[in-house]
Amino acid sequence: MAKKKAVEKKTASKPAPAPARPLPRIVMRTGEALVEVEDGPGYLAAEPEVVIGELDGPVGYAIANLLGDQIKGHSRVFAILNCDCQVRPTTIMVSKVTVNNEKYTNILMGSVQAGIANGVLDAVRAGDIPKEKADDLGIIVSVWLDPSVTKEKKVDHEKLFETQRAAVAKALGKAMRGEPKIDWLLENQNKITHCFHELGMKGDL
């Protein structure tokens, strides 16, 4: 009897688990990245710009407006792994290039769209985007696909997919970490020259 009471007393004194702390709100963060293939054709370069934030905040409102206000040549579509399989966080992609070519459309809505969708999931798997907030966040991806891709006789869809995937994951990681940091930018400001500015200065543009 005494042993039973001792067990009951020990059980009763066990502290209750602490309530889970709510994850902080992510109002809006931005990022960009460049991924290129060494010695590869220009169309393989991926340079997305991303915005990420809560669906019940400015990013969510922007996504709803983009989807509902379609513009010819700049269709806004969700990032999907395949038809009937949208990724989370909700991601909408917008082309930086005016789309007026069937081949360009098929590549953009094929290998590029799939690469973007996988890049989003890679950012979640890496922990850059909290998995617990996958249903609460929205992402806008501004997509660059070099129009020269339409002149290629044989497009390397595998590498195109890989560069877009890697660039989106990288851009989202930078956005969530707030990179590059302002201290780094101030320290390196005079060491960095914009590549096209440099070409212009050399008379190559």
Give the total residue count for the chain: 205
Crossing angle of helices 113-125 and 157-177, in 10° steps, is 40
Q: Please state, rounded to an integer, the average pLDDT across all residues of the chain.
A: 91
Between residues 100 and 138, the one the model is more confident about:
138
Cα 115 to Cα 96: distance, rounded to the nearest angstrom: 16
**pLDDT, tens digit (0-9, with 9 covering 90-100), for 69-95:** 988 888 899 999 999 999 999 999 999
CA atoms within 13 A on the CB side of 67: 16
Q: Are 166 and 46 contacting, i.e. CB atoms less than 8 angstroms apart?
A: yes
pLDDT, position 33? 97
**Whole-Å CA distances, 77 to 45, 70, 110, 114:** 21, 9, 12, 12
pLDDT value at 196 more than 60: yes
> In the chain, which ranges are continuous DSSP H helix?
2-12, 58-68, 102-107, 113-125, 157-177, 182-188, 195-202
Average pLDDT over residues 171-196: 95
**pLDDT, tens digit (0-9, with 9 covering 90-100), for 126-157:** 999 999 999 999 999 999 999 999 999 999 99
User: Architecture of domain 25-173 in CATH?
Assistant: 2-Layer Sandwich (3.30)
Q: What is the DSSP code (8-state) at residue 108?
A: I
Sequence spans of domains, the chain: 25-173
pLDDT, position 9? 53
Q: In a 3-state reduction of DSSP, which class is residue 19?
A: coil
Q: Are 79 and 66 contacting, i.e. CB atoms less than 8 angstroms apart?
A: no
pLDDT category of residue 186 using cuts at 50, 70 and 90: very high
Cα 111 to Cα 162: distance, rounded to the nearest angstrom: 9
Cα 32 to Cα 167: distance, rounded to the nearest angstrom: 8
